[in-house]
Amino acid sequence: MTMTPDACQFSMSMLLKQETALTQQLSELLDGEYAAITDKDFTTFEQIITEKALTVEQLDLLEQERIALIESAGHKPDPDNFLYFMQWCDPAQHIMPHWEQLLTLAGKCRNQNLRNHHLIELCSRHTRETLHVLRGEDPHTDLYSADGDTDSGHENQTLARA
């Protein structure tokens, strides 16, 4: 039995509202993660990582439901056919704003996640360099000599020899 446009519109609206709420929750978690990284609050950071993983898992399940809904209506779930599906399901475009809000929030989450990733990389690099200094090692072991070979045994060289 194929789905009617009215039933599809109701189901898609409910799914998009749930996805939007979870994506908003993910955004808040990403802000909390940023604060935990900045404050070096590793206990909170670990808690947020766990919550974030559960939220992403729930989002994946909702996405699978959305794909199944599109397929049950006889449409392909790829981006090229999504607009055709939405025109069939929601010709008055009542739920399109929910989709656009979800896309906007997803883009925000992507940017927040990249920001957090860069901050973690910066902290990690700083920690590695500090460890090298504490061990009495040269933190820049991957430099090249004048002939192009990797030079790991840096002796004091003049600029002319470097």
- In this predicted model, which residue has the larger pLDDT, 108 or 158? 108
Q: Quick: pLDDT tens for 19-70.
A: 999 999 999 999 999 999 999 999 999 999 999 999 999 999 999 999 999 9
CATH classification number, 5-137, choose in 1.20.58.300, 1.10.10.10, 3.50.50.60, 3.30.70.260: 1.20.58.300
Q: Quick: pLDDT tens for 95-123.
A: 999 999 999 999 999 999 999 999 988 87
The Cα angle at residue 113 between residues 61 and 128, in degrees rounded to 5: 125
pTM attached to this predicted model: 0.77
The phi, psi pair for 99, rounded to 5°, reads -65, -45
The amino acid that residue 141 corresponds to is T
What is the 8-class DSSP label of residue 64? Answer: H
Q: How far is residue 143's CA from residue 162's CA, in Å, rounded to a whole number?
A: 10
Q: How far is residue 65's CA from residue 69's CA, in Å, rounded to a whole number?
A: 6
10 Å CB burial of residue 66 (0-12, 13-18, 19+) is buried
The helix-helix angle for 5-38 and 42-72 (nearest 10°) equals 160
